[in-house]
Amino acid sequence: MAAEAAAIVVDWGTTSLRATLVDARGNELESLETSQGISSLNKGDHEEALMTTLSPWLSSHGALPIAALGMITSRNGWIEIPYVRCPAGPAELAAGSVRRSLRNGSDLVFLPGLTDPMRKPFPDVMRGEEIQVAGHGLADDGTIIIPGTHSKWAQVKDGRIDGFQTFVTGEIFALLLNNSFIARGATQPPVDDPEAYLWGLEEAKNSWAMLSLLFSARTGGLAGKLSANQLRSYVHGMVIGQEFRQARDAGWYSEGGKATIVGNDGLNDLYVVAANVFDLEIAMGDDDVLIRGALDVMRHTLS
Amino acid sequence: MAAEAAAIVVDWGTTSLRATLVDARGNELESLETSQGISSLNKGDHEEALMTTLSPWLSSHGALPIAALGMITSRNGWIEIPYVRCPAGPAELAAGSVRRSLRNGSDLVFLPGLTDPMRKPFPDVMRGEEIQVAGHGLADDGTIIIPGTHSKWAQVKDGRIDGFQTFVTGEIFALLLNNSFIARGATQPPVDDPEAYLWGLEEAKNSWAMLSLLFSARTGGLAGKLSANQLRSYVHGMVIGQEFRQARDAGWYSEGGKATIVGNDGLNDLYVVAANVFDLEIAMGDDDVLIRGALDVMRHTLS
C-alpha cells in the first residue's frame, strides 16, 4: 500500500493543520492533525514546520506533490496569495495558485481563495470553501450551501462558481451562547433539543426583525416557556432560520427550489432541517470534496 | 436647603446603585452612586445595604419616601415584583407597585416593570424604561425611543404606554467589538469616526441580510477600504441602522414620521443621526425623566 501514495493535501488553518496522504485516485491512505495552526508560527517558520510534520510520509514515499490551502495563504500565513475573482472554476483557481519547490524536491502548490467582486458593500471572500465546491463538481448549475462559522451560499453556472455570499451565522450563535446576556443560562454541557431547534426556525421564518427576535431567547425564559435545556437549540434555530430567510430574500433560492450542501462542518443535519422548514429541497455532496477539489486544482497547476 | 428634602429615588441595577435625593418638586439636591449592584448581594442583605448607603441622608432628614426601581425588583433582586401589563400609565404602574416600611419609618415603594403581552413569540419586558416614559409624560400619542444596550421602541396612546418592542442592538455591538472575529482589530482605545458611522448606517439601510452585512466589517478591512480607526463606528452604524430598518418594518414609524428620544444612555446623539438617515424627525425628552416618573408613580402609590 505504501507504494500507492501519490499526493498530500494540507488544510492549514488558523488553529490547526490537517494533512491527508492520498493515492493516485484521491483515496485517503493516511491522515494526521496537529494544533500547529498559522497563529502558532512566526513568519519564516512554516516550511520547517511542514517538513517536520510530513517527514514520516516524505521519508517513506520520497518527494510528493503537496496542495496547501486555507489561512496558510492569507496575510498572516506562509505566503499571501491574492484571491481569484468570480466567476472561477478549477482552471482559474489553478492560474491563481503559486508553485514552490521544497528542499526535498516536493512540489508545493498554494491554492488561492476566491472573491466575489460584485458583492456589496465590499467584495466577499472565501478561502477553502471554493476548493470544496470545485471538488463537488461544477457540471450542474445550481445553488451550493457550505455551512460553517461563516456559511457560504454560492451559485454554480456554466462550470464555474459565479458568485457567493457569506452569512456569519455560526459566529453569532457562538457569541450569543458564550458571551451574551441574552442567551446565558443554557444548560452545560450543551444539550441538543430538536423540537426547540425547530421552534427557533419557525420563529425566524416569521420575523424580519432579527435584533428583536434574538431577545426572545431571554423573554422565553422569563415567561417560563423556554427552559435552560431548550435554550441552545432554540437560539441555533433562530440564527440558522434567519440565514435561510435572508438568503432567500437575497435571491439564493425560492420556495420549492433546490440546493446542494457541500462540506461537513458538523452542521449539515441542522441545515437539512432548516431547508425543510423553508421549503428548499436539499441534495447532499460527498464527504471527500475538499481532497478531490484540491487534487483537481493542483493537477491543473502542475500540468 | 437640607430642610427641602422630600424623597429619594433609587435606581438599583445589576452592577450599580444610583440614589438621588430630591425636593418636593423633584429637583435633585444630592446624588450618590455605588458599585453595590444586586449581583454583589445575597438575598436578605438588601435592606441593610440600602440603609447603610442612604444613612447620611436619612440621619439628616429623617424618614423619607423612597422609590426603588430596576433589577432590584427582578427574580435575583430584593423582591420579585410581577410585570404590569400594557397598556399602562402611572396609575397602572402604581397599582403594581409594592409598598414596605423600613425600620426607620421610611416608606419604600418598589416600582414594577412593564410587559407587552401582545409581542411574539413571547411577551416583551422592560424594567426602568417605563418609568422614564412616564416621567416624559403621556399626554401626547406617539412613538418613543429609549436607546440602550437593549433599546426599546414604545407607543404612547391615550395617556398610557400601549405597547413596546426590544432591540438588542447595543449588546450585539459590544459582542462584535469585544468578542468576535468579524470586527476585531478596531483601534484601542476606541476611536469615534462620524463619517464611518454614517457609512455603516447607509449600508444598513440598503441591506435586509443582517447576517451577511455584518461580514462587511471584515471584508472592508481585507479590501483596504475600512481602516482600524473606522471599524468601531462603521459597526455601530450597521447595527443601529439595522435597528431603525427593522423598527420601521415592524411598524414603529414611517418615513417622514416623528418620534421622541427619552432617557440618556450616551447614545442619543447617534440615534439622532440614524433617525435623520431614515427620514424620521426626532424630538428630545428632558434629562430628568427617570426621577420625575419615579416620583409620579410613587405619588400614585402612596396617595
Break chain B into its structural domains and give their ranges: 2-139+288-302, 167-284
Q: Most B CBs within 10 Å: which of A76, A119, A150, A168, as the mutation test of the B interface? A: A168
B126 to chain A: which residues are within 8 Å by CB? none
pLDDT given for residue B132 in this prediction:
97
pLDDT given for residue A1 in this prediction:
46
Check if B226 contacts A (Cβ < 8 Å): yes
In angstroms, the CA B39 to CA B69 distance is 15
Chain B nearest C-alpha distance from A285 (Å)? 24
Which residue is closest to A125 within chain B, CA to CA? B219
Interface size between A and B, measured as CB pairs under 8 A: 127
pLDDT given for residue A184 in this prediction:
86
Q: Is the pLDDT of residue B130 over 70?
A: yes
pLDDT band at B46 (very low <50, low <70, confident <90, very high): very high
Q: Residue A280, SS3? A: coil
In angstroms, the CA A15 to CA A71 distance is 9
pLDDT mean over B24-48: 92
pLDDT mean over B145-154: 96
Domain A2-139+289-302 has CATH 3.40.190.10: no
Topology adopted by domain A167-284: Nucleotidyltransferase; domain 5 (3.30.420)
A89 versus B185: the higher-pLDDT residue is: A89
Q: Which CATH number fits domain B2-139+288-302: 3.30.420.300, 3.30.110.70, 1.25.50.10, 1.10.3720.10?
A: 3.30.420.300
pLDDT band at A64 (very low <50, low <70, confident <90, very high): very high
A226 to chain B: which residues are within 8 Å by CB? 122
Mean pLDDT of chain B: 95
Span B97-116, pLDDT tens digits: 999 999 999 999 999 999 99
pLDDT band at B1 (very low <50, low <70, confident <90, very high): very low
Of A165, A171, A219, the CB nearest to B124: A219
In angstroms, the CA A185 to CA B107 distance is 35
pLDDT mean over A77-88: 96
Q: Is the pLDDT of residue B129 over 90?
A: yes
Mean pLDDT of chain A: 95
Q: Which sign does the torsion angle of CA B38, B41, B43, B45 carry?
A: negative
Which residue is closest to A181 within chain B, CA to CA? B171
Span A100-109, pLDDT tens digits: 999 999 999 9
The answer to whether B219 contacts A125, with C-beta atoms less than 8 Å apart, is yes
Q: Most A CBs within 10 Å: which of B205, B212, B226, B252, as the mutation test of the A interface? A: B212
In angstroms, the CA A163 to CA A262 distance is 16
CATH topology agreement for domains A2-139+289-302 and A167-284: yes
Q: Most A CBs within 10 Å: which of B119, B168, B244, as the mutation test of the A interface? A: B168
Closest Cα partner for B211 from A181, A262, A241, A199? A241
In angstroms, the CA A222 to CA B113 distance is 13
A180 to chain B: which residues are within 8 Å by CB? 171, 175
Closest Cα partner for B175 from A243, A174, A233? A174
What predicted TM-score, i.e. pTM, was given to this entire model?
Answer: 0.94
Which residue is closest to B75 within chain A, CA to CA? A222
Interface ipTM: 0.94
